[in-house]
Amino acid sequence: MAGAVISHVRVAAAHDGVAEMVVTLRHANGGLSDVTLDETGAAALFEACGSSTAEELIGHGWEKVQHALAVSWNRYAPLPEAPPS
């Protein structure tokens, strides 16, 4: 195992009452890290993994979780301004 992989997935309630997905990553040295994904990030992770259930996410690499976090974060990026007419 060269990098961290998804070892567990669960749903948790956020402070605002909206559901979030908590993904546990198991590192090569046996350590565990939890990563929380909002709805946008969770959807991006399912798409990146080609999965439709939480169980199907297990075993996928941390890079897909990193991608999901980037998708979630970048939705707040300002849109480029339209060129002047």
Read out DSSP for 3-29?
A: S-EEEEEEEEE-TTS-EEEEEEEEPTT
Q: Give the right CATH number for 5-74 from 2.20.130, 1.10.287, 2.40.50, 1.10.510.
A: 2.40.50
Q: Looking at this protein, which amino acid is placed at residue 20?
A: E
What's the whole-model pTM score? 0.84
Domain range summary for the chain, segments of one domain joined by +: 5-74
Each residue of 28-71: pLDDT tens digit? 999 999 999 999 999 999 999 999 999 999 999 999 999 999 99
Model pLDDT, residue 82: 74
At residue 53's C-alpha, the angle toward residues 49 and 57, to 5°, is 40
What would the two tokens of residue 7 be? 């070892």
Residue 12: band (very low, low, confident or very high) from pLDDT cuts 50, 70, 90: very high
Q: Burial-class residue 37 by CB neighbours within 10 Å (0-12, 13-18, 19+).
A: buried
